[in-house]
Chain A
Amino acid sequence: MDRRRFLRVAAALAPWAAAGAAAQTKARVVVVGGGYGGATVARYLKLWAPATEVTLVERESAFVSCPLSNLVIGGHASLDDVTRGYGGLAKAGVRIIADSATAIDASRKAVRLARGPELAYDRLVVSPGIDFLFSAMPNYEAAARAGRVLHAWKAGAETVALRKQLEALRDGAVYVLSIPLAPYRCPPGPYERACQVASYFKKAKPRSKVLVLDANEDITSKAALFRKAWAELYPGLIEYRSNSMAVDVDGPSKTVKLELDDVKGDVLNVIPPHRASQLAADAGLITHNDRWCNVDWRTMESTAVPGVHVLGDATLSAPAMAKAGHMANQQAKVCAAAIIEMLAGRAPNPRPVFASTCYSFVSATEAIHVASVHQWNEQEKTVTIVPGSNGVSAARSEQEARYAWAWARNTWADMLGG
């Protein structure tokens, strides 16, 4: 058999042979977004398939963690404590491009950037995070520009700005925290934040008040543990109102407008509802409710755009799967494993496993958790919680706070390299 004929026969026999050959000539994977999902998938592709050419597009020069950033707001950590560089990923062989992805051309398998030349890919992973639906609150953006309201729901400058506003308050002031309807990023995060602000008030401004306006009918995560912490650690400091959805803000009068009622405050921390980021919308990845991206949980591949995988908070979460950094990290490993198999022309693991442990600090030194393990469920054709694997802390403890910091250090090293 001559070579040409061998190639023809091989190509006819195995449709994967071509893909397998491509994988050997350095398959190119482009990752957009260097948060918990994107950084992890880049790291694990290099760890498990070092020959893969992995390019990460991230506009920020450093990673700032949302998990643990409420400690900055409470005054128990600095922004530096929750910030890490991308040097470890570069050392692991990931090519890092400091730029913004502006468009995805899936038909040509290319990503356009704001400044640099476009990037061609064999597989694309987008871990784009969320955008806020400011349209839900017509005057929010004007009030935000005037410095009269903030969300601090993307860790960084707003986290520090919120801390400064709290420090500048007089004693006897009111901090208003508005929580959108679920699903939103980090279900227990707002209640943890209420604890952190209350811990600061208790020490520095004991006549002040935390007013929680929750659009949901009850605390959405770790409810009994948060209620107990509020009652025992911060008596009289936290007022909680359920079924209180913000529909707008008024900057000049520092007012949160509810459906039936107006609430004034001295610091307005209003978290608008969110959806998958604009990049995902423009790329046609949003498939659910005009907000979230459906994926196949066995590969994290978009159900709408072949060759494009979506990670993290932008996805339409599987049942009882939280939008959370830990979960994005776990999704990224399933995605990395699937991409390696697909590029090699093999079938991906049909039964992926996702584990989650989520800690919340109820004071400077005590934490609580919720944990769960999710496996592929053949009957439901999605990922569901393994019965018995989900649960919360027996009680808040200093031991769990130490574990929470250890979780952070190990997770940041896991996603960003050494």
Chain B
Amino acid sequence: MTWPRFLALALCAVPLGARSEDDALARGLAATCANCHGTEGRSVSRELPSLAGMSKEKIAADLRAFRSGARPATVMHQLARGYTDAQIDLVAAYFGARKN
């Protein structure tokens, strides 16, 4: 292998669109929602809403309303209390950037 060719290959080996640490964090946090809201926020059941396709503002506002109790729920008022403000914003941005 020639030196330029080695370099070229080495450069190709860098993942395309290298992720920031926040992207990995957001992806992992969003995955905690998948059991009820579907993989990457795409629900396969009509009983529970998809999160992909919702705006990040709505998701963040809903989670905060669940957390404060302003919006009644069967379970989300409990789960929403498990996440920090920064985590809520990461999750909301992750789903907000996804199409359903």
Interface: B79 (CB within 8 A): yes
Interface size on A, residues (CB 8 A): 50
B residues near A394, Cβ cutoff 8 Å: 74
B residues near A400, Cβ cutoff 8 Å: 74
| Proximity string of chain A (157-180) to chain B, C-beta cutoff 8 Å, 1 when within and 0 when not | 000000000000000000000000
Q: Report yes or no: A353 in contact with B44, Cβ–Cβ below 8 A.
A: no
Interface: B28 (CB within 8 A): yes
Closest beta carbon of chain B to A27's beta carbon, Å: 13
Q: Report yes or no: A357 in contact with B35, Cβ–Cβ below 8 A.
A: yes
Query: In the bound complex, how far is the Cα of B74 from the Cα of A371, in angstroms?
Result: 10
Query: In the bound complex, how far is the Cα of B87 from the Cα of A44, in angstroms?
Result: 21
Total A-B residue pairs with C-beta atoms closer than 8 Å?
A: 120
Considering only CB atoms, which chain A residue lies closest to B49 in the complex? A406
Q: Contact partner of A337 among B24, B33, B75, B81, CB < 8 A? A: B24
Q: Contact partner of B74 among A3, A355, A403, CB < 8 A? A: A403
Q: Report yes or no: B39 in contact with A47, Cβ–Cβ below 8 A.
A: yes
A residues near B13, Cβ cutoff 8 Å: 20-21, 24
Query: Contacts A373-B81, A402-B47, A406-B45; is A353 near B35 (CB within 8 Å)?
Result: no
- List B53-95 residues whose CB lies under 8 Å from chain A: 74-75, 77-79, 81-83, 87
Q: Report yes or no: B38 in contact with A413, Cβ–Cβ below 8 A.
A: yes
Q: Contact partner of B48 among A44, A330, A341, A406, CB < 8 A? A: A406
Query: In the bound complex, how far is the Cα of B15 from the Cα of A20, in angstroms?
Result: 11
Considering only CB atoms, which chain A residue lies closest to B43 in the complex? A410
| Proximity string of chain A (55-78) to chain B, C-beta cutoff 8 Å, 1 when within and 0 when not | 000000000000000000000000
Query: In the bound complex, how far is the Cα of B13 from the Cα of A413, in angstroms?
Result: 32
Interface: A375 (CB within 8 A): yes
Q: Report yes or no: A326 in contact with B35, Cβ–Cβ below 8 A.
A: yes
A residues near B31, Cβ cutoff 8 Å: 44, 333, 337
Q: Report yes or no: A355 in contact with B75, Cβ–Cβ below 8 A.
A: no
Query: In the bound complex, how far is the Cα of B44 from the Cα of A408, in angstroms?
Result: 10
Q: Report yes or no: B24 in contact with A349, Cβ–Cβ below 8 A.
A: yes
Considering only CB atoms, which chain B residue lies closest to A392 in the complex? B78
Query: Contacts A406-B47, A410-B38; is A375 near B82 (CB within 8 Å)?
Result: yes
Interface: B32 (CB within 8 A): yes
Q: Report yes or no: A333 in contact with B24, Cβ–Cβ below 8 A.
A: no
Q: Which of A104-112, A239-247, A383-391 contacts B (4 or more CB under 8 A)?
A: A383-391
Query: In the bound complex, how far is the Cα of B75 from the Cα of A400, in angstroms?
Result: 9
Q: Which of A341, A369, A372, A407 has the most CB of B within 10 A?
A: A407
Closest beta carbon of chain A to B94's beta carbon, Å: 13
Q: Report yes or no: A369 in contact with B74, Cβ–Cβ below 8 A.
A: yes
Q: Report yes or no: A371 in contact with B75, Cβ–Cβ below 8 A.
A: yes
Closest beta carbon of chain A to B76's beta carbon, Å: 9
| Proximity string of chain A (1-41) to chain B, C-beta cutoff 8 Å, 1 when within and 0 when not | 01100000000000000001100100000000000000000
Interface: B25 (CB within 8 A): yes
Interface: A52 (CB within 8 A): no
Interface: A405 (CB within 8 A): yes
Interface: A251 (CB within 8 A): no
Considering only CB atoms, which chain A residue lies closest to B91 in the complex? A353
**Mind listing 20 A-B residue pairs with CB under 8 Å?**
A20-B13, A24-B13, A44-B31, A326-B35, A333-B32, A349-B28, A352-B28, A355-B33, A355-B79, A357-B36, A373-B32, A373-B82, A374-B82, A388-B81, A389-B79, A389-B81, A400-B74, A406-B47, A410-B35, A413-B39
A residues apposed to B, CB below 8 Å:
2-3, 20-21, 24, 43-44, 47-48, 326, 329-330, 333-334, 337, 341, 344, 349, 352-355, 357, 369, 371-375, 386-391, 393-394, 397, 399-400, 402-403, 405-407, 409-411, 413-414
**17 additional A-B residue pairs with CB within 8 Å, beyond A375-B82, A388-B82:** A3-B1, A3-B6, A326-B35, A330-B35, A333-B34, A337-B31, A344-B15, A355-B82, A357-B35, A373-B83, A374-B82, A386-B83, A393-B74, A403-B48, A406-B45, A409-B44, A414-B34
